[in-house]
């Protein structure tokens, strides 16, 4: 399957799960959280549309031309169900972010996913031993 064959909603759907894996990996391996209650509570600091929108704002100046185009593609697609906890603009930016992460996953750019995730959420690079 070619990248051009994947719809924008499908990239956003995939990107949502890619972001979820990033968040869960960070919370377990770097923050050391181990109970589902703590993990679920802490994950909300990453996955709400308003928080994703803020993270995207930090990432946006660092995007390549191709990444920015994919982000805009996701941000500008039609949105039917905007959650009450986010504005339309926040939800659109969050969807653009998910689309970007879906694109990066499909194109095999795991390092870039980690780089942008850390940049967006203001996380330091993990210590290497």
Catalytic residues: 16
Check residue 31 and report its DSSP letter.
S
CB atoms inside a 10 Å sphere around CB 38: 13
Q: Which of 77, 66, 72 is nearest to 106 (CA)?
A: 66
Tokens of 9: 């909603």
Residue with tokens 């803020």: 54
Report the distance separating Cα 104 and Cα 67, nearest Å. Answer: 8
Report the distance separating Cα 2 and Cα 113, nearest Å. Answer: 20
């Amino acid at each position: 399957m070619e990248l051009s064959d994947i719809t924008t909603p499908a990239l956003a759907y995939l990107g949502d799960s890619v972001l979820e894996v990033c968040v869960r990996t960070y919370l377990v391996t770097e923050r050391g959280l181990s109970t589902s209650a703590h993990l679920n509570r802490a994950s909300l600091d990453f996955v709400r549309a308003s928080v994703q929108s803020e993270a995207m704002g930090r990432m946006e100046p660092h995007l390549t031309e191709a990444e920015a185009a994919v982000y805009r593609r996701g941000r500008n697609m039609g949105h039917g169900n905007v959650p009450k906890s986010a504005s339309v603009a926040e939800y659109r930016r969050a969807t653009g972010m998910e689309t970007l992460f879906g694109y990066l996953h499909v194109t095999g750019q795991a390092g870039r996913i980690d780089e942008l995730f850390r940049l967006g959420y203001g996380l330091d690079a993990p210590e290497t031993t």
